[in-house]
Amino acid sequence: MLSRVGENVYWMARYLERAQNFSRVLAVRRAQGAQMLARETNWPGLLRTFGDIHEPDGWDTRDLIHHAIFEGTCPISLRFTVERARENARMAREIVSPEMWHVLTEMHALLGARDSGQDDDTWDGLLNMVTMDALTFQALVQSTLLHDEAYYFIQVGTTLERALSTLFLLMSYLDNLAGWTHEPLFAVNMLKSLTGYGAFRRSYRMSLSVPDVLEFLIFEKAFPRSLAGASNSLQTAMNALPEPWGPAKSKVGRLIAQLSYDTIEMVMDVTPVIYFSTLLDQFKTIHDDLSARYFQPEVQEV
Where do contacts with another protein occur on this chain (CB under 8 A)?
A: 1-6, 87, 90-91, 93-95, 98, 101-102, 105-106, 109, 149, 241-242, 294-295, 297, 299-302
* CA–CA separation, 51 and 23 (whole Å): 15
Rounded to an integer, what distance in angstroms lies between the CA atom of residue 240 and that of residue 248?
Answer: 13
Sign of CA dihedral 278, 279, 282, 287: negative
The distance of closest approach from Cβ of residue 87 to another protein in the complex, given in angstroms and rounded to an integer, is 7
Q: How many CB atoms lie within 10 A of CB 193?
A: 24
Q: Which is nearer to another protein, 5 or 208 (CB)?
A: 5
SS3 at position 98: helix
Task: Give least dist CB 245 to another protein, A.
Answer: 11
CB of 134 to another protein, least distance (A): 18
Question: Nearer Cβ to another protein, position 44 or 242?
Answer: 242
Q: Nearer Cβ to another protein, position 91 or 280?
A: 91
Closest approach of another protein to the CB of residue 92, in Å: 8
- The total of other beta-carbon atoms located within 10 Å of residue 52's CB is 19
Shortest Cβ 5–another protein spacing (Å) = 7
Handedness of CA 92, 94, 96, 98 (dihedral sign): positive
- Alpha-carbon torsion 103, 109, 111, 115, what sign? negative
How many residues are given for the chain? 302
Cβ atoms < 10 Å from Cβ of 276: 20
Of 121 and 301, the one with the shorter C-beta distance to another protein is 301
Q: Could you tell me the smallest distance in angstroms from the CB atom of residue 99 to another protein?
A: 10
Phi, psi of 49 (to 5 degrees): -60, -35
